[in-house]
Amino acid sequence: MSSTTAPSAYYIPHAARWPIVGSVGLFIFFYGFATWLNGAAFGKEMFFLGTAIVVFMMFGWFGQVARESESGTYNGQVDSSFRMCMMWFIFSEVMFFAAFFGALFYARSFSGPWLGGDGAGGAEMTNAILYQGHDYVWPSDGPAHIGGGFQQMGWFGLPLINTLLLLTSGLTCTFAHHAIREGKRKPFILWLGATVGLGFIFVCLQAYEYYHAYSALNLKMTSGIYGSTFFMLTGFHGFHVTMGAIILLVVMIRAMFSHFSADNHFAFEAAAWYWHFVDVVWLGLFIFVYLL
């Protein structure tokens, strides 16, 4: 089939075998993870087995879709479905982050001051009876100073470098997009490679930042609400950067196998949208977690 003549009918796939593999994989993953957390036998093994099955499923499923796309199975309407799917998926991710940002805002503007005795509705009494002498200042590890004394993570240095890295990767990603739109494969692959590289450097630097936090600042996940929100937000984001970089890497490898053309490269676009989303979330993090 030529990829230039798009089929007229909407492509309805038959006999999907990957979803059930994914369900079994996730089942083993979740069951194993819970068992592992409870410290019971075979939890860890199930966790890794489940992970492996899910990764296998993703390669199989996405590989099938990639082959179908390259053989011209899809038409413009199918393409629109994929685009909507990705957009709404990113929206759901935005809401996932919103829960953690909400926790940060709530702790900083409401529960923190209340614990310190500020605010109507008996905050003063709570403070006097339960937490006498506790004065709220951010960063806080609460009246009980859970986790012991710690130092705040500054914004200058690694976080700032990471910000510049991610912003630059957003640019290189856009250059890659321009290249493929003009059908220039080589610059497309090179700019993609730069984006992936910057992404992985970001992850490495963040790992180093965590190491620094644990070893030098005594800043841990257990460091009260500050440590909780810091590691939850940056960790969840870091996980997304890792996923985004892997997705872009897969796109790059596909490009090396001469996938994609000037007018058929949605996999790249989806990855790029995802990357920009991760980028924007980082800006929010940089402002609300590090700067303010």
Q: Residues 64 to 103: which contact another protein by CB under 8 A?
A: 68, 71, 73, 77, 80-82, 84-85, 88-89, 91-93, 95-100, 102-103
Question: What is the pattern of x (binds another protein, CB under 8 A) and - over residues 230-269?
Answer: -xx-------------------------------------
With CB under 8 A, what is the number of residues at the site for another protein? 82
Beta carbons of 219 and 235 less than 8 angstroms apart: no
Identify residues 213-232 at the interface with another protein (CB under 8 A).
220-222, 224-229, 231-232
For residue 79 the two structure tokens come to 């393409």
By residue count, the chain amounts to: 292
Is 163 exposed, middle or buried (CB count within 10 Å of its CB: 0-12, 13-18, 19+)? Answer: buried
CB of 98 to another protein, least distance (A): 6
Assess 113 for contact with another protein (CB under 8 A): no
Nearer to another protein, 1 or 216 (CB): 1
Report d(CA 197, CA 185) in Å as an integer.
Answer: 18
State the Cα torsion 102-236-48-56 to the nearest 10°: 110
Rule CB under 8 A: choose which of 46, 53, 54, 107 binds another protein.
107
Assess 22 for contact with another protein (CB under 8 A): yes
Assess 49 for contact with another protein (CB under 8 A): no
Assess 15 for contact with another protein (CB under 8 A): yes
Beta carbons of 152 and 138 less than 8 angstroms apart: no
Neighbours of 81 (CB within 10 A): 12
